[in-house]
Chains A and B, each alone.
Chain A
Amino acid sequence: MFSKFKIILLSVFLFIMFSCGSDEISEENSSVGKSSNVAPGLESNSGSSSGSKENVFRINFSDPPTFDPHLVTDTTSASIIVEIFSGLVTLNKDLDIIPDLAESWEVSDDGTVYTFNLREDIKFSNGENVTAQDFKWSIERSANPDTGSYNADVYLGDIIGVKEVIDSNGGIQEVEGVKAIDDKTLEITIDSPKTYFLAKLTYPTAFVLSQKYLESMGDDWIDSPVGTGPFVLQEYQIGQILKLKRNDLYWGEKSKVDGVIMNLAGGVSMAMYENDEIDITGVGLADLERVKDPNDPLSKDLVDVPPQFTLSYIGFNVNMAPFDDENFRKALSHAVDKELIADKIYSGLTKPAYAVIPPGFPGYSPSINGLEFNPELAKDYLSKSKYSDPATRPRIIVTIPGTGGSPGMDTEVISDMWRETLGVEVEIQQVEWATYLQDMNRKRLQVWAGSGWQADYPDPQDFIDILFYSGSDVNHGNYKNEKVDDLILEARTELDQNRRFLLYNQAEQIVVDEAPIFPLWFDTDGYALVKPWVKGYSFTPIIVPKYKDMYIE
């Protein structure tokens, strides 16, 4: 349950640029990698201004495109869906996979057959019992092209039979690899031993829906969804307000707050917070100085927000000159002083990245040797490259997304450093988001910045395999290295977790050495303001149910 491949901008640009109109009044952290740092959706407002202290939590949010777990593609929907629905397994705050509706599970010796034992006392919020048949039906619904899921193949494609259902265009309905042995036992068979399979089941695409309820309600079910999560949807008015209330039939410990009120209409969230209209807000660069001042009463409410697992980077298309030359890519990588940028531009709100897997993420290795700032070495590599002569060097166009007119500060400074250190001139071209995506997905951008990768599930496969395997759709720079491919393929089916991570780290080191991307930033702690009467609210780097454990004093 983590945000989609998400690009720092979807939030930065869609939210800050357009929504807020101008930077000085935006609540969001506006640095690269920061925007999504504030729990997703601290953006919008709360309808009631009736003071505080009711046993509800008030937060600014934005409209979820869908409540259907099988259709979710975005973090806003996902973070509401995990409160209303749930699945076999979930993640705790340390990213461990823990039982949810499944009480326990066994994996066959060859690693391909998972047998889940469901809890006895699990009910949908309308009182129906949850059975293994509901799970089987839900997975088949996800995979069925009629449902229109965008990512069933990503999250469920490892299950035997899912791909067949997706490709059959409605001809095949049944997923061969999922069997309801009895009411409380579910057996799932996958195509090869993949230890990251369980992690994928934590995403809403694999969540359970009530077969009976959906079949009786038809398409209208989504207006009053019935799920197994800690909350139920109480009220939703598009663009105005969304209310969650405690699900008294939740199998685990019931929520301590009566509900959550999400304002969806917008508003200056900092001002609303100060006016006691909402209980939480993110703090952007513009307000940070002020709220950090111990004399400001707000400073007492300031809390740290842990980093998201994101990597922002500049991508090079290795099929296009001059980036087909490794020396040239390395020259650029060595020519940028990332520490200086992080310190001077982002006030330390971002952390220079010299590798691919973010610190704290499963598979992170501190021993990857990155390409550090070294002007001499950079010049060396440039002179060794076949593009050392500026007269014959092809034009370099860095494409960034957005419509603000000004590229991110980092992009500007980096292009400046390239010019100063190497005499390499680049042009920056800004294109609107949808156009950017289209060109990126067609792998026809020469250099692209302003985007990054955010983990979808806690496994290094989600970084290394997805970004650098030669056959991956997300390998937008056409990077191909046979050694890396071999390591990735080996890691896919390696059962020994430590050895798997090692394989990924080996691949990661090769990637870093060959510089098909120029890693820029990992996320670091951000800041948020939380009212003193809110207790037990925790920020997590990934989307997990978080309202049930908090309370209002």
Chain B
Amino acid sequence: MLKYIFKRIIWMPVLLLMVSLIVFFLGVYGPGDPIEVQLGNNYDQESADRIREKMGLNDPVVIQWLNYVRKAAVGDFGESYVFKNREVSELLIPKLIVSAKLNIISFVIAIAIGTPLGFYAAVHNGTVRDPIVVIFSLVFYAMPVFFTAPFLILIFALQLDLVPAAGWGGVFDKRIILPAITIGIPGAAVFVRLIRSSMIEVLDTDYVKLARAKGVSENKVLWKHAFRNAMLPVVTIMGFSLAGLFGGSLIVEILFGIPGVGRISLDSVYSRDYPVIMAIVLLGSSALVVANLIIDFLYTLVDPRIELQ
């Protein structure tokens, strides 16, 4: 198993190199140019060329890419083109931490609400309670954040005056409540549906029937035999949610005034701030690779029959 993990880990840099190459070339050969965006209508060929020269943007693309990779390998992601004299890491790290904190809380909310409800619906499959839970979760799932966010602000900040309308103070600040719920609720709905369908499938298997037939108590059937098996697909989804931990939700961040990574991700694309785009993409790819690894590992815990090799 260690060998397996080791193999996966040495593949990582290769994957990241490929990702960086693709993103780099897309940036260079796609339309638009960082210098041009900043010059706006003051653009003139001469000054643009001068600035490009200074920033090394006139070098052959492969050279630029190699330079980038060489520095990135030792953790130097360069300076932002837009935010002058600012290291990309200096720009991104505080924002990534904020987004991660918010995402973790939202994730906990999603699991805490989603798992019991999904379980409840599955156990009551065939009664009216099941479709009620499913319908509710679908309704919540279907509500876009640009609806729920202002709605929550209107009720809890403006009408009831329980929390401020916007701002950020970390995990233990009450201002995290509304945004975490906004992100967590649709997430909970996903878990409800997933766990429900997975449970229903498992409850219909022969080994559960056998367990029941031999008189194992219902509680034990549900928890020991069914639930653990039903968790397998859930783990996959959880893993991928973890990969998205450092991703920001643009709309939620904007509406609740959270200094996360969502807005800078989008802005960097529009302003062609390549160093920032690269860092975000590379980070996202690494997170996905790592999450995959963790998922595989978790499989072995949930289902001992699975072996990594």
Q: Which residues of A contact B (CB under 8 A)?
A: 4-7, 10, 14, 18-22, 25, 44-47, 49, 63, 65-66, 68, 71, 73-74, 145-146, 148, 150-151, 153-154, 166, 169, 219, 222, 237-240, 263-268, 271-272, 274-275, 277, 431-435, 437-441, 453, 473-474
Q: Is B191 an interface residue (CB 8 A)?
A: no
Chain B residues with CB under 8 Å of A239's CB are: 91, 94-95, 259-260, 263-264
Is there an interface contact between A18 and B266, defined as CB atoms closer than 8 Å? yes
Q: Is B47 an interface residue (CB 8 A)?
A: yes
Report the minimal beta-carbon distance from A543 to chain B, rounded to whole angstroms: 15
CA distance in complex: A5, B36 (Å): 13
CA distance in complex: A433, B40 (Å): 10
A5-B258 contact given A145-B54, A239-B264, A267-B167, CB 8 Å threshold: no
CA distance in complex: A264, B250 (Å): 14
Nearest residue in B to A474 (C-beta to C-beta)? B41
Q: Known A-B contacts: A45-B257, A150-B39. Give 5 more (CB < 8 A).
A: A18-B270, A21-B145, A263-B167, A266-B256, A473-B41
Is there an interface contact between B43 and A272, defined as CB atoms closer than 8 Å? no
Is there an interface contact between A219 and B254, defined as CB atoms closer than 8 Å? no
Is there an interface contact between A434 and B167, defined as CB atoms closer than 8 Å? no
Of B45, B85, B153, B167, most buried by chain A (CB within 10 Å of CB) is B167
Q: How many residues of B contact A (CB 8 A)?
A: 58
CA distance in complex: A342, B44 (Å): 34
Residue in contact with A272 in the complex, picked from B47, B51, B161, B165, CB distance below 8 Å: B165
CA distance in complex: A4, B44 (Å): 14
Chain B residues 82-118 with CB under 8 Å of chain A are 82-86, 90-91, 94-95
| 9 closest residue pairs by CB, A with B | A267-B166, A434-B32, A267-B257, A5-B41, A239-B259, A271-B165, A435-B31, A45-B257, A66-B84
A7-B40 contact given A219-B85, A434-B272, CB 8 Å threshold: yes
A268-B255 contact given A18-B266, A73-B38, A150-B38, CB 8 Å threshold: yes
Q: Which residues of B contact A (CB under 8 A)?
A: 31-33, 35-45, 47, 50-51, 54-55, 82-86, 90-91, 94-95, 145-146, 150, 153-154, 157-158, 161, 164-168, 250-251, 253-260, 263-264, 266-267, 270-272
Q: List 28 A-B contacts (CB under 8 A).
A: A5-B40, A21-B145, A21-B250, A25-B255, A44-B257, A49-B164, A49-B167, A73-B38, A150-B35, A153-B47, A166-B50, A237-B94, A238-B94, A238-B95, A266-B254, A266-B258, A268-B166, A271-B154, A271-B157, A271-B158, A275-B161, A277-B165, A432-B31, A433-B32, A434-B32, A435-B31, A437-B40, A473-B45
Nearest residue in A to B81 (C-beta to C-beta)? A65
CA distance in complex: A222, B85 (Å): 8
CA distance in complex: A345, B40 (Å): 28
Q: How many A-B residue pairs have CB under 8 A?
A: 192
Report the minimal beta-carbon distance from A435 to chain B, rounded to whole angstroms: 4
Is there an interface contact between B271 and A434, defined as CB atoms closer than 8 Å? yes
A73-B39 contact given A275-B157, A435-B32, CB 8 Å threshold: yes
Is there an interface contact between A275 and B165, defined as CB atoms closer than 8 Å? yes
Chain A residues with CB under 8 Å of B39's CB are: 73, 150-151
Chain B residues with CB under 8 Å of A263's CB are: 166-167, 257
CA distance in complex: A337, B85 (Å): 49
Residue in contact with B257 in the complex, picked from A237, A265, A431, CB distance below 8 Å: A265
CA distance in complex: A151, B157 (Å): 45
Chain B residues with CB under 8 Å of A47's CB are: 167-168
Chain B residues with CB under 8 Å of A73's CB are: 38-40, 42
A473-B165 contact given A21-B251, A65-B84, CB 8 Å threshold: no
Chain A residues with CB under 8 Å of B41's CB are: 4-7, 440-441, 453, 473-474
CA distance in complex: A240, B94 (Å): 10
Chain A residues with CB under 8 Å of B40's CB are: 4-7, 10, 73, 437
Nearest residue in B to A60 (C-beta to C-beta)? B257
Is there an interface contact between B146 and A21, defined as CB atoms closer than 8 Å? yes
Is there an interface contact between A18 and B94, defined as CB atoms closer than 8 Å? no
Of B36, B150, B254, B271, most buried by chain A (CB within 10 Å of CB) is B254
Chain A residues with CB under 8 Å of B254's CB are: 19-21, 266-267
A271-B264 contact given A10-B40, A266-B256, A453-B41, CB 8 Å threshold: no
Is there an interface contact between B166 and A277, defined as CB atoms closer than 8 Å? yes
A151-B42 contact given A20-B254, A25-B150, A145-B50, CB 8 Å threshold: yes
Is there an interface contact between A272 and B54, defined as CB atoms closer than 8 Å? no
Is there an interface contact between B33 and A434, defined as CB atoms closer than 8 Å? yes
Of A68, A71, A166, A265, most buried by chain B (CB within 10 Å of CB) is A265
Nearest residue in B to A67 (C-beta to C-beta)? B84
Nearest residue in B to A47 (C-beta to C-beta)? B167
A265-B166 contact given A4-B41, A432-B32, CB 8 Å threshold: yes
Residue in contact with B42 in the complex, picked from A5, A22, A44, CB distance below 8 Å: A5
A240-B168 contact given A22-B146, A150-B39, A434-B272, CB 8 Å threshold: yes
Report the minimal beta-carbon distance from B271 to chain A, rounded to whole angstroms: 7
Report the minimal beta-carbon distance from A398 to chain B, rounded to whole angstroms: 18
CA distance in complex: A25, B33 (Å): 31
Report the minimal beta-carbon distance from A405 to chain B, rounded to whole angstroms: 15
Report the minimal beta-carbon distance from A263 to chain B, rounded to whole angstroms: 6
CA distance in complex: A47, B86 (Å): 23
Is there an interface contact between B166 and A45, defined as CB atoms closer than 8 Å? yes
Report the minimal beta-carbon distance from A340 to chain B, rounded to whole angstroms: 30
CA distance in complex: A151, B35 (Å): 12
Is there an interface contact between A434 and B36, defined as CB atoms closer than 8 Å? yes
Report the minimal beta-carbon distance from B148 to chain A, rounded to whole angstroms: 12
Is there an interface contact between B37 and A272, defined as CB atoms closer than 8 Å? no
Is there an interface contact between A14 and B267, defined as CB atoms closer than 8 Å? yes
A150-B157 contact given A66-B83, A265-B168, A438-B36, CB 8 Å threshold: no
Chain B residues with CB under 8 Å of A433's CB are: 32, 37, 270
Report the minimal beta-carbon distance from A245 to chain B, rounded to whole angstroms: 21
CA distance in complex: A229, B59 (Å): 40
A63-B158 contact given A73-B39, A432-B270, CB 8 Å threshold: no
Chain A residues with CB under 8 Å of B266's CB are: 18
CA distance in complex: A14, B268 (Å): 11
CA distance in complex: A18, B253 (Å): 12
Is there an interface contact between B257 and A266, defined as CB atoms closer than 8 Å? yes
Chain A residues with CB under 8 Å of B54's CB are: 145-146, 148
Is there an interface contact between A267 and B32, defined as CB atoms closer than 8 Å? no
A275-B164 contact given A4-B40, A7-B40, A21-B251, CB 8 Å threshold: yes
Of B51, B82, B166, B263, most buried by chain A (CB within 10 Å of CB) is B166
Chain B residues with CB under 8 Å of A438's CB are: 31-33, 36
Report the minimal beta-carbon distance from A76 to chain B, rounded to whole angstroms: 11
CA distance in complex: A437, B50 (Å): 19
CA distance in complex: A421, B258 (Å): 49
Is there an interface contact between A265 and B250, defined as CB atoms closer than 8 Å? no
Chain B residues with CB under 8 Å of A151's CB are: 39, 42, 47
Is there an interface contact between A272 and B166, defined as CB atoms closer than 8 Å? yes
Chain A residues with CB under 8 Å of B85's CB are: 66, 68, 219, 222
CA distance in complex: A267, B51 (Å): 35
A150-B37 contact given A240-B259, A277-B164, CB 8 Å threshold: no
